């Protein structure tokens, strides 16, 4: 019999918070209403490791992913976060020495959009999910990353004051939203919330008049990164006011600054209960 090196006692006996594999890529079948879609998902999968074990059995992680992905081909998963939840539960079953498991998954995701002049276009977004299992309790999260545009209100107001003109600099903005899902949240809704919280949407294809309308809309709706985060939180509170008070919400905005060599960033990590105060 070959030696089980992972089960040996390590020289330095310290517990490790996360041990696992990163960047495992698989096609996953996800239910979306009355249809299903294939997402090309990248996953990070971890368990904790007690102080008396030299290593974790990493091959078990890959085996679990393979089993659940294969199952999704026959029976589409309810959502990416539910797939992560199932993997997290299996991790604790297979790693009998672990007390905590964590799974993160992300994929490109496309939605049909219309430009200001109603030209159809297929736009890319990023959909994300996370599940954290502690004993019998699993917390699952759904998240999105949306690219849009912001126009600077500071430069606009200063130029208006000095030159009596209405123009400013603008930049690409990346809005990220993560929220703990009790089963009532859909990723498409989160994409809409993030996109509508920026100065304007952006599009892969823009003819001249469409381009003009995008720029006009952004300059009529100037925002700091702080404004984007606060507008996301406001919309979350309005739409999901029935979520439990302990549901975690993470909202971020990062502007890829056009007149600086650095980026602007804002974030709020909170709970629904704190937002309601």
Nearest to 243 by CA among 196, 203, 275: 275
Average pLDDT of span 27-40: 90
Looking at residue 15, its pLDDT comes to 96
Q: What phi and psi, each to the nearest 5 degrees, are found at residue 200? A: -160, 155
Nearest to 139 by CA among 101, 192, 172: 101
Looking at residue 21, its pLDDT comes to 97
Q: Which two tokens stand for residue 248?
A: 């975690």
CATH classification code of 136-277: 3.10.270.10
What is the pTM for the complete model shown?
0.93
DSSP string, 55-116: ---HHHHHHHHHHHHHHHHHS-BS-HHHHHHHHHHHHHHH-TT-SEEEEEEEEEEEEEEE-T
- Do the domains 136-277 and 1-102 match in fold? yes
Does the pLDDT value for residue 246 go beyond 90?
Answer: yes
Q: What is the mean pLDDT of the chain?
A: 95
- Domain positions in the chain: 1-102, 136-277
Q: Which residues contact 136 (CB under 8 A, 6 or more apart)?
A: none
Q: How confident is the model at residue 2 (pLDDT cuts 50, 70, 90)?
A: confident
Looking at residue 206, its pLDDT comes to 93
Looking at residue 277, its pLDDT comes to 86
Looking at residue 26, its pLDDT comes to 95
Average pLDDT of span 246-266: 97
Mark residue 226 as left, alpha or beta (left: phi above 0; alpha: psi -120 to 50; beta: remaining).
alpha
Q: Which two tokens stand for residue 88?
A: 């997290």
Does the pLDDT value for residue 59 go beyond 80?
Answer: yes
Nearest to 198 by CA among 270, 237, 134, 149: 149
Does the pLDDT value for residue 138 go beyond 90?
Answer: yes
Per residue in 71-110, pLDDT (tens digit) is: 888 899 999 999 999 999 999 999 999 999 999 999 999 9
Q: How confident is the model at residue 32 (pLDDT cuts 50, 70, 90)?
A: confident
Which H helix or E strand runs over 275? helix 272-276
Per residue in 193-238, pLDDT (tens digit) is: 999 999 999 999 999 999 999 999 999 999 999 999 999 999 999 9
CATH classification code of 1-102: 3.10.270.10
């Amino acid at each position: 019999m070959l030696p089980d090196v992972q089960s040996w006692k390590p020289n330095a006996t310290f517990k490790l918070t996360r041990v696992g594999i990163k960047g495992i890529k698989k096609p996953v079948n996800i239910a979306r209403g009355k249809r299903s879609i294939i997402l090309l998902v990248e996953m990070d999968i971890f368990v904790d490791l007690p102080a008396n074990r030299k290593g974790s059995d990493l091959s078990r992680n890959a085996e679990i992913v393979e089993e659940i992905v294969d199952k999704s081909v026959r029976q589409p998963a309810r959502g990416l976060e539910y797939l992560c939840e199932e993997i997290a539960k299996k991790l604790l079953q297979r790693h009998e020495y672990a007390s905590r498991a964590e799974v993160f998954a992300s994929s490109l995701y496309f939605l049909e959009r219309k430009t200001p002049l109603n030209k159809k276009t297929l736009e890319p977004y990023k959909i994300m999910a996370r599940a954290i299992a502690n004993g019998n309790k699993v917390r699952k999260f759904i998240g999105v990353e949306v690219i849009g545009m912001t126009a600077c209100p500071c430069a606009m107001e200063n130029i208006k004051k000095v030159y009596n003109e209405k123009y400013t600099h603008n930049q690409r903005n990346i809005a990220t939203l993560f929220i703990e899902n009790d089963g009532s949240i859909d990723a498409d809704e989160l994409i809409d919330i993030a996109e509508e919280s920026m100065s304007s949407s952006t599009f892969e294809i823009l003819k001249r008049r469409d381009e003009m309308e995008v720029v006009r809309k952004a300059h009529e709706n100037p925002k700091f990164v702080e404004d984007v985060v606060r507008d996301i939180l406001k919309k979350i509170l309005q739409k999901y006011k029935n979520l439990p008070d302990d549901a975690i919400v993470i909202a971020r905005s990062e502007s890829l600054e056009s007149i600086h060599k650095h980026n602007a960033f804002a974030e709020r990590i909170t709970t629904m209960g704190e937002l309601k105060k």
